[in-house]
Amino acid sequence: MRYISTRGDQTPRRFCEILLEGLAPDGGLYLPERYPQVDAATLAQWRELPYHELAFQILSLYIDDIPAEDLRALCAKTYTAEVFGDADITPLRELEDGLYLQGLSNGPTLAFKDMAMQLLGNLFEYELGRRGEELNILGATSGDTGSAAEYAMRGKKGVRVFMTSPDGRMSPFQQAQMFSLQDANIHNLAIAGVFDDCQDIVKAVSNDLAFKRRYRIGTVNSINWARLLAQVVYYFKGWFLATGPQGGEVSFTVPSGNFGNVCAGHVARMMGLPIRKLVVATNENDVLDEFFRTGVYRVRGSADTHETSSPSMDISKASNFERFVFDLLGRDGSRTRSLFHDQIASTGQFDLSADPVFADAAGKFGFASGRSTHADRLATIRDTDRRFAVLIDTHTADGLKVAREQVEPGVPMVVLETALPIKFAATIVEALGREPERPAKFEGIEALPKRVVKLPADAERVKQYIAEHCA
């Protein structure tokens, strides 16, 4: 399998070449040159496989530069019941007739990002070890991504993590999760500023090419292909759990921000998994819902980006969306480039409403969408608690609200549960008047010793810190 860029660069690259990279050199995103096809007979063979073996089967269709036995061992080491709390890894439970929740948030940091990041940690360690190289991951987080990255990379050989976060602005639970890690290769940098200041620092450091090369600076952001690929696996698992041996179609609803999660569903569907609809659920930051309703993709400014109670979906643009648009346009790289590079840069938007391909988004690719608000979240959390005695988090609530608008008789609808309620306790208290239950392993973490360094919002000081801790 070779990988190409969504902006027309056809230089074929293998999996391990793009594993440690972000964007392609032409500014596009990597995609496989074709989607391997999985037929009904293969699905039947895969139905009873344990999750880690299913992951190996799917990953091996895309990775041919890691020996099969090594890849199998990496998958087996990653997807264990000990780490994910359940033998199914992503267990399914039925809420009401035909409507299911698939739990993706039982990993170490209680959000779905663990599903991919845990594998990435093991792949990075493996590949860096093979090359005899080291990598210093520099990131910015307002919560979920940073903790998922740290828990995936902690104790890994050849990898250090320098994670900036806005000082005092994460929830006490999120701070405790990250800052209580005592691993020597994890560095928490609390920046005097807001999340944008942290992102600016990461950009400034990455733009200093000499520094970047000398200190081997890398990232683990959501456009990384390996992260997306790891997420493809749970759509297969969800389909197996929601269907009997006779198979049939299943729809998925995905609480969405950067379009990484639902893009993995798109890949699964392109491989031939019988997915009927892929429903994109957004919060008040409805860039994606607007596109699927109108054909207009309009990037928002920071004044137009709302701070909501499902904060991991508070995005102004959807960084993985370009992958889907490339497929929608029949894989026309120069057209994708003109939309994302030229039109977005000059006007902040593009409009496909008058283009015949826009109808394909729903017709050929199965996409639908919807939007949810703070009031919807509260109502959905209350309703789910009262009627089913199931406590869901705010992001999953956005998904469930939108899923109900898209259910079709006879087609199971699976809502992806993307975080556990304990991460967003304040809104749970607002909805229910009580604190969510805390998993035993997180009892009292706020009281643990914290390992964090406070720095001013100054890229030079962050560089200095990295240089001093890269020995």
Which residues form the catalytic set? 113
Quick note: the x/- pattern for ligand PLP over 286-325, rule CB under 6 A, is --------------------------xx------------
Q: Is 419 in the site for ligand PLP (CB under 6 A)?
A: yes
What are 191's strand-pairing partners? 166, 455
> Please, which residue, 185 or 256, has the CB nearer to ligand PLP?
256
| Helix segments in 132-164, DSSP class H | 144-153
Q: Sort strands 159-166 and 135-140 into parallel, antiparallel or unpaired.
A: parallel
| Angle in degrees, 0-180, between the axes of helices 260-270 and 321-328, rounded to the nearest 10 | 30
Q: Is 6 in the site for ligand PLP (CB under 6 A)?
A: no
Which residue in 257, 366, 370, 436 binds ligand PLP (CB under 6 A)? 257
Which residue in 144, 150, 167, 286 binds ligand PLP (CB under 6 A)? 144
SS3 call for 114: helix
Which residue in 113, 269, 317, 374 binds ligand PLP (CB under 6 A)? 113
Which residue in 258, 309, 369, 427 binds ligand PLP (CB under 6 A)? 258
Which residue in 109, 164, 406, 418 binds ligand PLP (CB under 6 A)? 418
Smallest distance, ligand PLP to C-beta of residue 262, A: 6
First to last CA, the chain: 37
What are 140's strand-pairing partners? 164
DSSP string, 404-463: HHH-BTTB-EEEEE-B-GGGGHHHHHHHHSSPPP--GGGTTGGGS----EEEES-HHHHH
Smallest distance, ligand PLP to C-beta of residue 213, A: 29
How many residues belong to the chain?
Answer: 471
Q: Quick one: which H or E segment has residue 240?
A: helix 225-242
276: how many CB neighbours lie within 10 A of its CB? 18
Q: Is 260 in the site for ligand PLP (CB under 6 A)?
A: yes
Smallest distance, ligand PLP to C-beta of residue 416, A: 8
Which residue in 146, 255, 370, 421 binds ligand PLP (CB under 6 A)? 255
Smallest distance, ligand PLP to C-beta of residue 152, A: 14
- Interface residues toward ligand PLP, by CB under 6 A: 111, 113, 144, 222, 255-261, 312-313, 395, 418-419
